Structure 1
Amino acid sequence: MKSDIKALVRGLRRSRLDVALGASVFLFVLIIFLISRVHQLADSNYSMLLSQSLIHHRSFTLDRYNIPRLLPTQQLFHVSNGSIYQLELVDNHIYYFWPPGTSVLSVPLVALMNASGVSAANAVGSYNPDGEVIIQARLAAILMAALASLFYFTSRLLLPPGWSLLLSLGTALGTQIWSTASRALWSDTWGIFLLGFVVFSLVAQELGIYRLRPALLATLLAWTYFVRPTFALPIVAITIYIVMYHRRLFIPYATVGAAWFSAFAVYSWYHFSQVLPNYYFVYQHFGSTPVWLALFGNLLSPSRGLLVFVPVLFFVSYLLLRYRAALPLRRLVVFSLVIVSIHLIVVSSHSPWYGGHCYGPRYSTGIVPWFYLLAVSGLQARRRSANEQTSRWRSLRRQLEASIGALLLILSVTINALGATSHATWLWNSRPVNVDQEPDRVWDWKHPQFLATWDH
């Protein structure tokens, strides 16, 4: 009886410690994100105005606002309102061209911002870009700080508090979470936030801690698709995972998923007279750059390379290979690697493969939660192997491993910090020549984007 009570007390203490550390991660990261000066409003312009249209006018159109009607301009997949490529003209109505999921999910927080006096519309109904920036900056920071905290709790399913703290902070500050997803409400911002809950659920299920809720899982995945179509890749992969390992959950999972997608199709047909909005056909456009070359660029080019901007991934890859015999979550590791690989191939076949105006490997932001899962698994495998009897040489090797891993993490944080705090790195996209007019700039090692602060 006494031992049971002691175990309960220890469990409660651990629980309180985890809550405190998880909250600390949220607050610490939130402060850093809020004080970071660069806000990358590009594709997401007008998305918060759409949220306000839903709040105040119950409409997906922006017709109620005093937006200048410009000459209709044919873009590749839509007719834009003049040079405002974020706005689509359909049957004399103005729509936000990008997927509506971000605007819909942001409604509660936008309503709070409106109540506090911050609005994406001026009193006369015209667009207020300054208000849009403030809303997006705050909401993106909150979402990504919450994701960092969620990462902490995910790794705690396997790792002790110290390692979980290091991994969650390292991922929040050493990846595109800081340099891209927290800088504005890119469509990936809401996407990886939702995907974080999916990863947590899958890890907990694999460890026998939590039973998958098929309806909740289907809902989370459906909304990732409603914010960005590339999240169809993890949806397909996880559906296969359900069929292979949790077949009894498939019917409720598929039923709820089908209901969500049917509702989305009805929305699209009502507004656009087609099953999907125009943006969802963007990824059918293949670029002229060979896929292998674009893939190389997305991995190793000086201004868009994933491994250049997040070099700590070299260490994660090493852990997965070196300690593969001790890897936990083997099924999820395999699925994560497949998702990452296919995602990189898909975005490399898209035009433009380099992501237009952005900082670094924006197109791989959506796979950061899978990298986190791989990092947790690799680190736990390394910890398992540490329990084995080791020689002096092995101890020295492990110390060298840790030193290299720490160095690569520091380098990753530094590079992503530059993207979040130095305006020169954002202006690199348009100076001295617009990168969309001269995309070969992304290959130039003499003037890489992350060194733009010192490139005069």
Structure 2
Amino acid sequence: MRSRIALVITLLFAFATSTWTISAQGLWQHGVLNLIVLAMLVALIQAHRSPQPWRWHLAAGLACGLLPGIRQTGLLFAAVALLYRLWRDRGRSAWFCLGWISAIPALWWNWHYFGNALTGAYRDATYLYQWDHFSTSLPGLLLSPSRGLLIFTPIALFAVPGFWQLLKQLKRQQLTHTELTLKSSIDWLLAGIWIAGCGVLLTYSFFGQWHGGYCYGPRFMTDVAPIVCLMLGYYLDALRQAWPQQKRLAGLLFGLAASFSMLTQVAGIAINPTVDWNTIPYSFGYPADLPRAWDWQDSQLMRSFHGMQHHSYAKMLNTEKYVTQFRGRILQVTDFQDQAITPPGRLDRAVPYQFLKIQIQNQGHHRWYGYQTGIGIGETMVQGDLYNAQNQRISTTIFYLSSTCLPGETCSAIGQLFTPTPPGNYSLKLQLALVGIGPQPNRNPPYRLTLAVP
């Protein structure tokens, strides 16, 4: 039975966590961190079973030494392993400590190139030890519709009762055994690793870029994916001993959570709009953009589901007919407070980018589709080309329509216009365009707006 549980949690780790969408899709360090943490656990456990434990002690030490160089958060897991080894058998920990020699290359590299041994390129300024930041980032790491662990991987919620079952087992073992057994040793080790995982969560809660930048879902929480799945094993082990009615209800909830977790991962690797969310309608990552992390209407998941919904429509779209009947007009340009910008509009050089809205009217016979629909090719946008006084184009900005716009309706396209540095007058040329097709011939001339940089 426990071999079946092991198979289940292995499949969940592979296909129901961000291991699939993060570790398997790019050269992040999270996948290597997970591998070395699991190798460390295997070595520590095998050391109790082997007639020659020194080999496994050495292997565990080598794994621990590598962890801080892979990701700084790996130091928490390595510290737990060190404390466990010293507590379990201090007298025979020499080989384990010798294995930490593997940390020397990373320590030397950091010291040589960054002037410190542990933090490397990271500085204290990247962490914000403030309550306002913590009170936003901790809920964001767990519940944000675009970055929350429990939103993208709701199966992780069952790891909490799994840890509770682990604590109950430890208590029973203390009452029935006067000496540590192999089972209780493993349980104590995994309890410590769970605590280290909680420490990882708290560490990222103080990190300035807690959202993980351009990614899909809770990238930073990939570090704790193996620990979460191990706790799911304890939950399933307790579930098989529950009363039949409890087992059916709990099993149903577990199955639904697992299915949704896998669905979110499939959406992340198969649907382009999930990645586009990071840059459309504007780049995500600036402090002023963080409210997007709490936008439930246009979250990464909603963008994914809309993309799946409209995927078949995009294939059936008669592009030639759609382009021929595409008609529209740019009415005016406003700021995000809907204040009209009249020429010459003033750009503040102290602000690196300006949020703008472009008011557009659909004068054709077909509805327009925006980025929230996830249709991709054929979405309506406004292309903005910025020219200097010498009529040289210096930048191009795309302003995106959000949802849909029916014939005759007036809608808004939004985006970021990056502020040019040299002072002077600039001309912003705006014209309607279609994603994947480009600017469209239009009965109305391009909209031009004069902007001034003092």
TM-score scaled to structure 1, two decimals?
Answer: 0.58
What is the CA-CA distance between 1:173 and the residue it aligns to? 0.3
Structure 2 unaligned segments of length 5 or more: list them: 171-182, 307-371, 374-454
Give the secondary structure class of the aligned counterpart of 2:221.
Answer: helix
Partner of 1:192: 34
Written as runs of structure 1 = structure 2, the 5 A alignment for 1:214-363 is: 214-257=57-100, 259-272=101-114, 274-275=116-117, 278-281=120-123, 285-286=127-128, 289-321=132-164, 325-326=168-169, 329-363=186-220
Matched-pair identity in %: 22
Matched-pair contact (CA < 8 Å) for 1:333–1:377: no
Gap change, CA 1:400 and 1:262, over 3 Å in 2:
same
Partner of 1:433: 282
Q: Give the whole-Å Cα distance in 1 for the aligned partners of 2:164 and 2:78.
A: 26
Q: Give the whole-Å Cα distance in 2 for the aligned partners of 1:205 and 1:407.
A: 38
Gap change, CA 1:206 and 1:424, over 3 Å in 2:
farther
Query: Which has a greater percent of helix?
Result: 1
Q: Give the whole-Å Cα distance in 2 for the aligned partners of 1:452 and 1:207.
A: 50
What is the CA-CA distance between 1:204 and the residue it aligns to? 4.4
What is the CA-CA distance between 1:277 and the residue it aligns to? 6.8
Q: Give the whole-Å Cα distance in 1 for the aligned partners of 2:266 and 2:52.
A: 36
What is the CA-CA distance between 1:380 and the residue it aligns to? 2.5
Matched-pair contact (CA < 8 Å) for 1:287–1:351: no
Number of aligned positions between the proteins: 289
Matched-pair contact (CA < 8 Å) for 1:287–1:352: no
The one-letter code sitting in structure 2 at the alignment partner of 1:371 is V
Gap change, CA 1:227 and 1:400, over 3 Å in 2:
same
What is the CA-CA distance between 1:321 and the residue it aligns to? 3.4
Partner of 1:397: 246
The one-letter code sitting in structure 2 at the alignment partner of 1:301 is S
Q: Give the whole-Å Cα distance in 1 for the aligned partners of 2:52 and 2:5.
A: 22
Q: Give the whole-Å Cα distance in 2 for the aligned partners of 1:407 and 1:209.
A: 44
What is the CA-CA distance between 1:255 and the residue it aligns to? 2.9
Partner of 1:131: none
The 10-residue stretch of structure 1 (415-424 or 343-352) with the greater mean CA deviation from structure 2: 415-424
Give the secondary structure class of the aligned counterpart of 1:408.
Answer: helix
Matched-pair contact (CA < 8 Å) for 2:13–2:226: no
Give the secondary structure class of the aligned counterpart of 2:26.
Answer: coil
Matched-pair contact (CA < 8 Å) for 2:36–2:63: yes
What is the CA-CA distance between 1:200 and the residue it aligns to? 2.5
Deviations 1:107-163 (CA, angstroms, capped at 9, x unpaired): xxxxxxxxxxxxxxxxxxxxxxxxxxxxxxxxxxxxxxxxxxxxxxxxxxx812x33
Deviations 1:390-442 (CA, angstroms, capped at 9, x unpaired): xxxx2111111111111110010001111111111011011112211311101
- Select 1:442's aligned residue among 289, 293, 305: 293
1:166 aligned onto 2:23: no
Gap change, CA 1:195 and 1:359, over 3 Å in 2:
same
What is the CA-CA distance between 1:185 and the residue it aligns to? 1.1
Q: Give the whole-Å Cα distance in 1 for the aligned partners of 2:166 and 2:79.
A: 28
Matched-pair contact (CA < 8 Å) for 1:175–1:412: yes
User: Larger Rg: 1 or 2?
Assistant: 2
Query: Which has a greater percent of strand?
Result: 2
Partner of 2:302: 451
Matched-pair contact (CA < 8 Å) for 1:188–1:365: yes
Q: Give the whole-Å Cα distance in 2 for the aligned partners of 1:273 and 1:336.
A: 30
Q: Give the whole-Å Cα distance in 2 for the aligned partners of 1:322 and 1:406.
A: 19
Q: Give the whole-Å Cα distance in 2 for the aligned partners of 1:342 and 1:277.
A: 17
Gap change, CA 1:249 and 1:449, over 3 Å in 2:
farther
Structure 1 unaligned segments of length 5 or more: list them: 1-157, 387-393
Partner of 1:85: none
Partner of 1:389: none
Q: Give the whole-Å Cα distance in 2 for the aligned partners of 1:322 and 1:376.
A: 10
Partner of 2:229: 372
Q: Give the whole-Å Cα distance in 1 for the aligned partners of 2:208 and 2:42.
A: 33
Highest RCO, 1 vs 2 (Cα 8 Å, sep ≥ 6): 1
Q: Give the whole-Å Cα distance in 1 for the aligned partners of 2:194 and 2:117.
A: 31
Deviations 1:361-410 (CA, angstroms, capped at 9, x unpaired): 11111111111221223322334x35xxxxxxx21111111111111100
TM-score scaled to structure 2, two decimals?
Answer: 0.58
Give the secondary structure class of the aligned counterpart of 1:246.
Answer: helix
What is the CA-CA distance between 1:332 and the residue it aligns to? 2.7
Give the secondary structure class of the aligned counterpart of 2:2.
Answer: coil
Matched-pair contact (CA < 8 Å) for 2:68–2:75: yes
Q: Give the whole-Å Cα distance in 2 for the aligned partners of 1:276 and 1:324.
A: 33
The one-letter code sitting in structure 2 at the alignment partner of 1:431 is I
Q: Give the whole-Å Cα distance in 1 for the aligned partners of 2:106 and 2:120.
A: 13
Deviations 1:145-199 (CA, angstroms, capped at 9, x unpaired): xxxxxxxxxxxxx812x33322211220000111111011101121112222123
Gap change, CA 1:370 and 1:283, over 3 Å in 2:
farther
Gap change, CA 1:355 and 1:286, over 3 Å in 2:
same
Q: Give the whole-Å Cα distance in 2 for the aligned partners of 1:320 and 1:275.
A: 34
Computed over aligned residues only, the root mean square deviation of the Cα atoms, in angstroms, reads: 2.6
What is the CA-CA distance between 1:224 and the residue it aligns to? 2.3
Matched-pair contact (CA < 8 Å) for 1:285–1:350: yes
The 10-residue stretch of structure 1 (407-416 or 286-295) with the greater mean CA deviation from structure 2: 286-295
What is the CA-CA distance between 1:262 and the residue it aligns to? 3.4
Gap change, CA 1:281 and 1:252, over 3 Å in 2:
farther
- Select 1:406's aligned residue among 255, 259, 271: 255
Q: Give the whole-Å Cα distance in 1 for the aligned partners of 2:196 and 2:85.
A: 15
